[in-house]
Structure 1
Amino acid sequence: MTHHANHDQRTIPVERSLAGETIVITGASSGIGLATARGLIAAGANVVLGARDSERLTRLGDELGATAVAVPTDVRSEDDVRLLVAAGVAHFGRVDSIVLAAGIGLYGGVEDHDDAEIRRMVDTNVLGTVWGVREVLAEFRRNRGGDIVIVASVAGLRGGAHEAVYAATKFAQIGLAGAIDRQLRPEGIRVTAIAPAGTNTGFALGTGRVAGDPSLADLLAPEDVALQIVTVLRQPRRMRTTLWASWSMAEGS
């Protein structure tokens, strides 16, 4: 007689479909935001693109077609962010997720930048994230759930001597993500902080990085980080990823 062992019948979870969902993206005209927009459209989603460069943003909206709407947005302005989210509801009927990818970075110690540069970095990275979170909550509550994805950095896990104020803004984003996860999870709202290490974007060009430097090719690609973002959005609703840090194989942690 042949005896068969009892095997666990559970299978790998089926990813959620993003087809027809509407996702707002800040910082959408370049880098991680742009790569995320392309990845989400490939997954069947509608995207609402926000960025300061209105000319570039308009070209991108035209290129991506009917499933994209472009809204010039300076995330330092709560009114701009409000209009960005409202555009998603007006064009597509609802907003299901927001990806807060707008950010700027300057290498240097705490004394190395003038007052205006410091304020621009703090207002963009910290207040720009807060305004995005605050603006989507009413819509997510109407929908009984949603996703907030905050693009932070490993600099928000351990600050380097050459990135003092930038690191402070990224610690702020990760702290915000943890706090709102604890606040909003009972309402079905998931919060993820994505914390990539160095990524080959326009980040800090001229203020610590040099365009064309061959070492930039050793960093993460923006598409790598976009893959993380799409992955957390496609997770089954019973689970959430609160913090996802990543490095390229060439970079130490």
Structure 2
Amino acid sequence: MSLDRDLSGTVVAITGATAGIGRATARALVGEGARVVLLGRRQERLDELVAELGEESVATIAGDVADPAVNAAMVAAAQERFGRIDSLVANAGIGAYGGIMSMTDDEIRTMDATNFLGTVFSVRAVVPTFREQSGGDVVVVSSVAGLRGGPWEAVYAGTKFAQVGLAGSLDRELREHGIRVTTICPAAVSTEFAIGAGRNEGDEWLEHVLTPEDVADAIVTVLRQSRRLRTNQWVLRAMAEES
């Protein structure tokens, strides 16, 4: 008999939900019978997901994940629409490839605010509810760049190292409250996120890396595992990619 959790009827908040991994995760979770609260910057894309996945399964919040008030609104939307919140997928992130001098000061501040502070504030928004109900899941979508930074991504890697450190500490802090914290660390993923300085749409290498659905499948697997278990960190690489 399977000891996996049935995700039907559970409520999952997903940040960075309008593209790539976030969008694939929303689709996968609704396919499992979960209801989702989607946070993203682009209202038109949120509306498209509602139309695709169904109003009965989706609530949306448009805004900046680095704003604590937006994260509070995400939790409130879950409770008002669905009466509860069981899990958070902290997925929002932006990246850029280039040397330490490649980005403007404002671009660096925005990346740091989105990747790190956005994670902090989304976790802070859900923890009081998770403590009150004696349990919940936090899944932080980081990167292998947060384990060993490569060339031409130093600032991005720094934000991902911060996420990994945050999640590891939170796992030890929150475990006594029944809250599991998992870090998913994918290598390169073929998404809009991957297109930037030094990366171009149509590049052949994009055909040989992870897909958003690969990462979404890992997130669903983590959430489905028995409450007796927890996965601290999961590194994902495509078979064709060198370690």
RMSD: 1.0
Pick the aligned partner of 2:42 from 37, 53, 56.
53
What does residue 7 of structure 1 align with? none
Deviates more, 1:68-77 or 1:151-160: 68-77
Q: State the SS of the aligned residue for 1:203.
A: helix
Does 2:113 match 1:123? yes
1:158: which partner in 2?
Answer: 148
Contact persistence 2:111–2:156 (CA under 8 A): yes
Q: What is the TM-score when the length of structure 1 is the normalising length? A: 0.94
Q: In the aligned structure 1, how far is the partner of 2:136 from the partner of 2:80? A: 18
In the TM superposition, 1:39-118 aligns within 5 A as 39-65=28-54, 66-118=56-108
Which amino acid in 1 is paired with 2:12?
I
CA spacing shift, 1:204–1:117, aligned 2, 3 Å: farther
Partner letter of residue 79 of structure 1? Answer: A
CA displacement, residues 83-139 of structure 1 (integer Å, 9 cap, x when unaligned) = 011101110001000001100000112221110100010000000000011000111
CA distance in 2, matches of 1:223, 1:154: 17
* Structure 2: unaligned runs, 5 residues or longer: none
| Identity across matched positions, percent | 55
Alpha carbons 1:36, 1:227 under 8 Å: kept: yes
1:208 Cα offset (Å): 2.4
**Deviation per residue, 1:146-174 (Å, 9 max, x gap):** 00000000000000111000000000000
1:179 aligned partner: 169
User: 1:251 Cα deviation (Å)?
Assistant: 0.8
The answer to whether structure 1 residue 17 and structure 2 residue 9 are counterparts is: no
Partners of 2:63 and 2:185 in 1: how far apart? 23
Q: Name the amino acid aligned to 1:43.
A: E
Partner residue of 1:240? 230
Aligned partner of 2:201: which letter? A
2:134 to 144, 147, 158: 144
Per-residue deviation at 1:206?
A: 3.0
Q: 2:60 and 2:25 mapped to 1: Cα distance?
A: 14
| C-alpha separation in 2, matches of 1:121 and 1:216 | 23
Q: Supply the AA of the counterpart residue of 1:161.
A: P
Tell whether 2:184 aligns with 1:194.
yes
Alpha-carbon distance between aligned partners in 1 of 2:11 and 2:198, rounded to the nearest angstrom: 36
Alpha-carbon deviation of 1:209?
A: 1.1
Query: Which ranges of 4 or more aligned residues in structure 1 deviate by more than 4 Å?
Result: none
Give the one of 34, 44, 56 matched to 2:23.
Answer: 34
Deviations 1:142-199 (CA, angstroms, capped at 9, x unpaired) = 2110000000000000001110000000000000000000000011000000000000
SS of 1:86's partner is helix
1:184-232, CA deviations, whole angstroms, 9 ceiling, x for partnerless residues?
0011000000000000001142322101112201010000000000000
Q: TM-score, normalised by structure 2?
A: 0.97
